[in-house]
Amino acid sequence: MSSSKIAAKLAQSYADIQALLDQVDLELVVYENPVWQVRDVIWHLSVWDRQVTQSIEAFQSGGQYAIPDFDEINFNKVSIEESRQLTGEQVEEESRQARRRFIAAVERFSEGQLESDFLYPWGDESGNVIQLVDYMVEHDEEHRQEIISAAN
């Protein structure tokens, strides 16, 4: 598989989310406890796009990156607090920028690097970019399905 095909998977996953956003209100509540609206879910995905991109870029520069003292519950809580400081338009624009940067980072992988392992941003797992993109596409789809359920 080429880096362009891997990047295309990311682009398609994002397009699927964007198509859904055209049909739902950003203020729709997706999760009740704690309350997450669609805008929060989109921000959450963007935050992870940025973190994953940092991990990829660190690897491409000969280093590694992991979120310091990562605690998933606190990390998600803080990211949602950030999203609440932004307008819906800002959340959507940040989402577009984060995914573009993620795709661009994936496209920079050479054929020889595609199966090289590197540290993932959550810090307790390593793998290659193919596995990471598959994981992130699954993450997108999980949240996309939850938004669909909340809308119905």
Total domains in the chain come to 1
CATH of the domain at 43: 1.20.120.450
The residue to which tokens 């996953």 are assigned: 13
1 pLDDT band (50/70/90 cuts)?
confident
**Mean of pLDDT values over 97-125:** 95
Length of the chain: 152
SS3 assignment, position 61: coil
Give exposure, 3-12, as e/b (b: 16+ Cβ within 10 Å). beebbebbbe
Q: Percent of the chain, pLDDT > 70?
A: 100
Alpha helices by DSSP H, listed for the chain, are 3-21, 38-60, 72-83, 88-107, 129-151
- Domain range for residue 140? 3-151
Q: pLDDT band at 91, cuts 50/70/90?
A: very high
What is the reported pTM? 0.95
For range 72-87, the mean pLDDT: 93
Closest of 22, 53, 62, 54 to residue 38, by C-alpha: 22
pLDDT at residue 111, rounded to an integer: 87
pLDDT in tens, 17-55: 999 999 999 999 999 988 999 999 999 999 999 999 999
The pLDDT of residue 59 is 97
pLDDT band at 105 (very low <50, low <70, confident <90, very high): very high
